[in-house]
């Protein structure tokens, strides 16, 4: 293999090793430890300084007590299920909002596309935390939304939106909408317009050509956008903490409380490992399915 190509391939693997695999192994090690009143607040069961003897003792005393505790306490599995529900619904809503926007951008005149692209990424010029705090002011009982609805006469009393799951959905959709729009737009922009013309020549209406040609060909962008929204939404902490109420149960909030309030690092690490497994397994299965489809097409 060409040394330049080998170096080019090696760089992302080293990056992945340094920023993903090593931290994951550290968290996995902590999840197999015992909680203790110390700094850091756990007793490691793996002593690397002891060499092979320490590793042998670790294997002989290995237990998954923290993971068993997660399965026995309903708080954790309910948090996982609630997080999955909120992430799935938020991803679906983001797709419903983002696809028409991306479709409009892809069909806009060429001179307007850079401006529309700038408007999509404009929120990233402001701090994420400031934007979430702004939504607290908009959705509160005395906020701009309720004041506007009262002024128009659509409602007679303020709506309770803040500190509910509805506010969490609004916050997640608003925050991650660009991550849905951009990959769909990139796919639609490359779409061959002659395919639509051919479909219409064969008798399809514009709506029929969209459902039979545009939508299937834009599926890679939709899938990429859904992954880009679902993955961070599943472990979201800031939005449910600021916009959600006490009934909003998400695993990100539980993880924060275990680390910083309860200082139970082993259990918190076990929560993080299970969360990572929930995220990685579907991605691996999806990639294998895509590879099988590509092999079948070839």
Query: Does the pLDDT value for residue 105 go beyond 90?
Result: yes
- pLDDT band for position 82 (cuts 50, 70, 90): very high
Is the pLDDT at 98 greater than 90? The verdict is yes
Helix, strand, or coil here: 153?
coil
As a whole number, mean pLDDT of residues 119-142 equals 89
Cβ atoms of 182 and 221 within 8 Å: the answer is: no
- Return the pLDDT at 225: 92
Q: What is the pLDDT of residues 189-209, one digit of tens each?
A: 988 878 877 887 777 888 888
CA distances from 62 to 30, 32, 58, 65 (A): 12, 7, 6, 9
The C-alpha atoms of residue 256 and residue 190 are separated, in whole angstroms, by 42
| pLDDT band at 212; cut points 50, 70, 90 | confident
244 burial type by CB count under 10 A (0-12 exposed, 13-18 middle, 19+ buried): buried
pLDDT band at 61 (very low <50, low <70, confident <90, very high): low
CB atoms within 10 A of CB 228: 18
Summarize the confidence of residues 171-188 as an average pLDDT.
94
pLDDT of residue 178: 94
What pLDDT sits at residue 47? 62
Tell me which of 97 and 128 has the higher pLDDT: 97
Q: Determine the pLDDT at residue 135.
A: 92
- Whole-structure pTM value: 0.85
Q: Rounded mean pLDDT of 72-98?
A: 92
CATH code of the domain occupying 70-297: 1.10.3720.10
Q: What is the mean pLDDT of residues 82-88?
A: 93
Q: How does residue 1 score in pLDDT terms, banded at 50, 70 and 90?
A: low
Tell me the DSSP string of 69-81.
Answer: HHHH-HHHHHHHH
pLDDT band at 50 (very low <50, low <70, confident <90, very high): low
Question: Per residue in 267-296, pLDDT tens?
Answer: 889 999 998 888 887 778 777 777 776 776
pLDDT above 80: residue 222: yes
pLDDT of residue 196: 79
| Summary mean pLDDT of the chain | 85
Portion of the chain with pLDDT greater than 70, in percent: 92
Give the lowest-confidence range in 15-29, 34-48, 160-174, 224-238.
34-48
Report whether pLDDT(171) > 90. Answer: yes
Distance CA 242, CA 246 (A): 11
């Amino acid at each position: 293999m060409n040394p330049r190509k080998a170096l080019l391939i090696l760089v992302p693997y080293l990056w992945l090793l340094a920023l993903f695999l090593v931290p994951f192994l550290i968290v996995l090690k902590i999840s197999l430890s015992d909680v203790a009143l110390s700094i850091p607040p756990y007793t490691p069961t793996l002593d690397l300084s002891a060499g092979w003897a320490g590793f042998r003792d670790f294997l002989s005393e290995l237990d998954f007590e923290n993971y068993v505790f997660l399965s026995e306490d309903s708080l954790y599995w309910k948090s996982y299920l609630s997080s999955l529900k909120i992430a799935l619904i938020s991803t679906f809503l983001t797709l419903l909002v983002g696809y028409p926007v991306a479709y409009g951008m892809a069909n806009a005149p060429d001179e307007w596309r850079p401006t529309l692209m700038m408007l999509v990424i404009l929120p990233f010029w402001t701090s994420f935390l400031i934007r979430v705090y702004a939504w607290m002011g908009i959705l509160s009982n005395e906020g701009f939304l309720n004041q506007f609805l009262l002024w128009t006469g659509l409602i007679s009393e303020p709506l309770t939106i803040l500190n509910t799951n509805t506010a969490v959905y609004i916050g997640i959709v608003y925050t991650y909408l660009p991550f849905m729009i951009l990959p769909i737009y990139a796919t639609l922009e490359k779409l061959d317009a002659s395919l639509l013309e051919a479909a219409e020549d064969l008798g399809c209406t514009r709506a029929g050509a969209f459902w039979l040609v545009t939508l299937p060909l834009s599926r890679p962008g939709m899938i990429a956008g859904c992954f880009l929204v679902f993955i961070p939404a599943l472990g979201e902490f800031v939005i449910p903490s600021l916009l959600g109420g006490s009934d909003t149960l998400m695993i990100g909030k539980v993880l924060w409380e275990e680390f910083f309030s309860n200082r139970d690092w082993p259990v918190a690490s076990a929560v993080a490992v299970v969360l990572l497994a929930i995220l990685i397994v579907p991605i691996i299965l999806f990639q294998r399915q895509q590879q099988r489809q590509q092999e079948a097409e070839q």
